[in-house]
């Protein structure tokens, strides 16, 4: 899926919430979206999920099945947990009983007969997660999924994410609590100044040397890419299991020497 120069604002004359977002989400990739409160993380996730539409630009190749878990599950609905999840299964063309394993897995059995408005915030979040996973998503979008969950439930998130990515789905997840550490291998995007910076170095959040591998086995390959391709190249390298050690400007002296006679910087 590709964000192609996506701009978004909530009202016609309002300031832009997001400007010119260019980014790519690849199958099997986990992307953690970071940023301060109000930076635009939820807005970006809602655009990815198709809940909001770009004002300018476009999002191409969104997977057909999107699982969307908003920051707050909309619990003001006249269903019990069981009725809601079974109805969601039926809407997706599944047997109603397809909901039952998720009720069990997410620890919702004791709340199966509870009306949604009476659920605690954390339990309602788990219902939100269950509905998003009923059909294996090609894209799972989780807005602050750890919020309101107790410790055992928080540990479920990395497992669920790993299952989706292992099946070839992509996962976009926002995080302002620093839970990124529980998603090793995730690419990280930072929203600041109303735009997205996929170039932020996520290797700081990963183990310096992956388990079972020694630095001694490594060589460093220097690659020059066009400036506008840097973020995408880094995403691709990380998705292939490589460690990106850094990004730097080309040494001006070397640029002059190498480009002598070529007329442009490469």
Please give the residue ranges that form the binding site for ligand ATP (CB under 6 A): 10, 17, 35, 37-43, 176
Name the residue nearer to ligand ATP (CB basis): 35 or 57.
Answer: 35
Name the residue nearer to ligand ATP (CB basis): 39 or 239.
Answer: 39
Report CA-CA distances (Å) from 149 to 86, 172, 174, 185: 23, 18, 15, 23
Name the residue nearer to ligand ATP (CB basis): 12 or 228.
Answer: 12
Least Cβ distance, residue 3 to ligand ATP (angstroms): 15
List the one residue out of 159, 162, 167 whose CA is nearest residue 185. 162
Tokens read off for 37: 């409160």
Q: Which residues pair with 190 in a beta bridge?
A: 34, 197
* Residue whose token pair is 């620890």: 107
Distance between CA 195 and CA 197 in Å, rounded?
A: 7
Q: What are phi and psi of 247, to 5 degrees?
A: -130, 135
Distance between CA 220 and CA 236 in Å, rounded?
A: 16
Name the residue nearer to ligand ATP (CB basis): 9 or 62.
Answer: 9
Name the residue nearer to ligand ATP (CB basis): 85 or 191.
Answer: 191
Least Cβ distance, residue 236 to ligand ATP (angstroms): 26
Least Cβ distance, residue 47 to ligand ATP (angstroms): 10
Least Cβ distance, residue 195 to ligand ATP (angstroms): 12
Q: What are phi and psi of 26, to 5 degrees?
A: -105, 155
Least Cβ distance, residue 218 to ligand ATP (angstroms): 36
Least Cβ distance, residue 201 to ligand ATP (angstroms): 20
Name the residue nearer to ligand ATP (CB basis): 35 or 169.
Answer: 35
Cα-to-chain-centroid distance, residue 239: 13
Cα angle: 227, vertex 52, 74; to 5 degrees: 130
Report CA-CA distances (Å) from 191 to 23, 149, 259: 12, 24, 34
Name the residue nearer to ligand ATP (CB basis): 10 or 60.
Answer: 10
Tokens read off for 266: 């490469």
Least Cβ distance, residue 9 to ligand ATP (angstroms): 8
């Amino acid at each position: 899926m590709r964000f192609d120069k996506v701009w978004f604002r909530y009202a016609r004359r309002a300031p832009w919430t997001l400007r010119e977002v260019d980014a790519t989400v690849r199958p099997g990739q986990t992307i953690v979206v970071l940023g301060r409160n109000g930076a635009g993380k939820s807005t970006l996730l809602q655009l990815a999920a198709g809940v909001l539409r770009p004002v300018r630009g476009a999002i191409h190749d969104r997977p057909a099945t999107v699982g969307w878990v908003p920051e707050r599950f909309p619990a003001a609905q006249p269903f019990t947990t069981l009725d809601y999840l079974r109805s969601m299964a039926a809407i997706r063309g599944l047997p109603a009983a397809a909901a039952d394993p998720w009720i069990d897995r997410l620890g919702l059995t004791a709340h199966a007969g509870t009306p949604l408005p009476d659920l605690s915030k954390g339990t309602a979040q788990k219902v939100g997660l269950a509905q998003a996973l009923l059909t294996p998503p090609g894209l799972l979008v989780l807005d602050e999924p750890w919020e309101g969950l107790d410790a055992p439930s928080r540990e479920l998130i990395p497992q669920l994410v790993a299952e989706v990515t292992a099946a070839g789905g992509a996962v976009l997840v926002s995080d302002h609590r620093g839970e990124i550490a529980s998603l090793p291998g995730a690419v990280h995007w930072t929203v600041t100044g109303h735009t997205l910076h996929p170039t932020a170095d996520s290797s700081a959040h990963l183990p310096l040397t992956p388990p079972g591998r020694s630095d001694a086995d490594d060589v460093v390959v220097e690659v020059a890419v066009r400036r506008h391709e840097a973020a995408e190249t880094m995403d691709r390298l990380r998705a292939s299991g490589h460690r990106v050690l850094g990004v730097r400007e080309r040494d001006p002296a070397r640029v002059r020497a190498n480009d002598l006679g070529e007329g442009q910087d490469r």
